[in-house]
């Protein structure tokens, strides 16, 4: 990923969506306007590519993260209205998304509707729990381990660009 690619994507997305970040927005300055953070879903380039494809085809409209990772990394929790540039496995910008809902619930209370909105595998809660327990165990940045009552940050989002 290059800053030039992010700047060009952000410029096009801002023009097409008439989007301007709100005051106090956490992003990076791109010369024209404050750019949203750029990141990818998953932990590998393969996962990033597969998951951004699900975002772009409308299957994936939600995601989840361990609140303990946010705390360990001293990162603020997402807020409704936050924007992000989603990257593919080669770190190219592919989508501008906007957070539409944020909830924090224990892992064991994530429901089937959220699992379906994440769009992965067979979209079942059983699949979601299996995959996310493994992900939260193998890719944790905190040292608390996995727990069925660990707080999970659930986000819903919508794609603003490309449509």
In angstroms, the CA 131 to CA 126 distance is 9
What total number of domains does the chain contain?
1
CATH of the domain at 13: 3.10.400.10
Residue-level pLDDT at 29: 45
Residue-level pLDDT at 71: 96
Residue-level pLDDT at 2: 77
Q: Is this structure's pTM higher than 0.85?
A: yes
Residue-level pLDDT at 147: 93
Nearest CA to 64 among 130, 158, 155?
155
* Exposure class string for 106-128: b at 16+ Cβ within 10 A, else e: ebeebeeebbbbbbbeeeeeeeb
Residue-level pLDDT at 89: 95
Residue-level pLDDT at 24: 46
* Residue 143 half-sphere exposure toward CB, CA atoms < 13 A: 0
In angstroms, the CA 153 to CA 58 distance is 21
The residue range of the domain holding 68 is 3-161
Residue-level pLDDT at 163: 62
The pLDDT profile of the chain, 163 residues, written as one tens digit per residue, is 578 999 999 999 998 988 765 544 445 444 445 789 999 999 899 999 999 999 999 999 999 999 999 999 999 999 999 999 999 999 999 999 999 999 999 999 999 999 999 999 999 999 999 999 999 999 999 989 899 999 999 999 999 998 6
Long-range contacts at 78-84 (CB < 8 A, ≥ 24 apart):
78/102, 78/153, 78/155, 81/22, 82/25, 82/26, 82/36, 83/19, 83/21, 83/25, 83/27, 83/36, 83/160, 84/36, 84/37, 84/38, 84/39, 84/157
């Amino acid at each position: 990923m290059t800053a030039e690619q992010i700047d060009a994507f952000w410029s096009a997305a801002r023009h097409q969506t008439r989007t301007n970040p709100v005051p106090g927005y956490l992003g990076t300055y791109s010369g024209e306007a404050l750019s949203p953070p750029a990141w990818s879903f998953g932990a590998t380039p393969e996962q990033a590519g597969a998951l951004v494809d699900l975002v772009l085809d409308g299957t994936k409209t939600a995601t989840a993260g361990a609140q303990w990772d946010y705390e360990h990394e001293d990162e603020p929790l997402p807020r409704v209205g936050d924007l992000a540039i989603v990257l593919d496995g080669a770190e190219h910008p592919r989508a501008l998304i906007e957070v539409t809902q944020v909830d924090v619930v224990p892992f064991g209370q994530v429901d089937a509707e959220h699992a379906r909105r994440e769009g992965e595998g067979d979209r079942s809660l059983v699949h979601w729990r299996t995959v996310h327990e493994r992900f939260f165990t193998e890719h944790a940045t905190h040292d608390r381990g996995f727990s069925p009552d660990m707080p999970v940050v659930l986000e819903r989002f919508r794609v603003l660009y490309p449509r």
